[in-house]
Amino acid sequence: MELQDAVVVVTGAGSGIGAALAHRFVDAGARVVVRADLVAGPMVDEIVDVSDRAAVAALVERVEAAHGPIDLYCSNAGIATGQGVDASDDIWQRIWDVNVMGTVHAARALLPGVRARGHGYLLVTASAAGLLTNLGDAPYTATKHAAVGLAEWLSITHGDEGLKVSCLCPQGVRTPMVTGGLDDGQMAAEVVEAMGLIEPEQCAEAVVAGLRDERFLILPHPEVADYVRRKADDPDRWLGGMRKLQRRLLGG
């Protein structure tokens, strides 16, 4: 995909990966719709609750009416909890609505235009947790697995209609979600930090390269591919290793 003059929407662009993506896309010549008050450049200020189907549909309609067809929609907004299966139903519902339904709402709004034009691009920010797991955060792990599965399904089901899909699965990125810790989940943040953090700008550079090659899986941490292979080769050994890591982090 060429970013020059592309109309791009980035959700969750107030900081972290989203902000870095927006900056990098502007540098590449794209017209980006984000929170313009937080990201400098030739951008349009749009703030939307991605868990609200009507709000996402209205965003797509406004952008396309003002700037033309959306060439790339980055479903990047996401939240974490730092909690286990005993998290409240409200917390489980909220993270599902943001981490999964945000992409569902975007796909619903984008697909009619993609079918009419025969092309369009969706970037889903999942996580290495969606391919592996995130110790200390069950809702995040479950919803990021769902995000990866949804991205795969969209690529398979709508690829022949012109929808290209990439799934971004970074391991540890120096963002407020990680460096600020989590309310009840310091272990989840410590796991990510212990495995090595990259800067958001490095993640954005990997995304640009992945989009250029139109790769489905974008891995800013190449070692994640090795971890996934090991998990697939021997799931029981992998689970045992993760339990060992958890015991070590808990001091047991």
The answer to whether residue 140 is catalytic is yes
Long-range CB pairs of 100-104, under 8 A, 24+ apart, other chains included: 100/143, 100/146, 100/147, 100/150, 101/50, 101/51, 101/53, 102/11, 102/50, 102/51, 102/56, 102/75, 102/77, 102/78, 103/75, 103/147, 103/150, 103/151, 104/150
The backbone torsions φ and ψ at residue 80, rounded to the nearest 5 degrees and listed phi first, read -125, 170
**Cα 252 to Cα 62, 118, 190, 243, distances in angstroms:** 54, 56, 16, 11
User: Which residue has 């929170």 as its token pair?
Assistant: 35
**Cα 3 to Cα 28, 83, 121, 182, 183, distances in angstroms:** 6, 38, 11, 35, 38
What does the alpha-carbon distance between residue 123 and residue 101 come to, in Å, rounded to a whole number?
Answer: 14
Answer whether 211's CB lies under 8 Å from 220's CB: no
Residues with catalytic annotation? 140
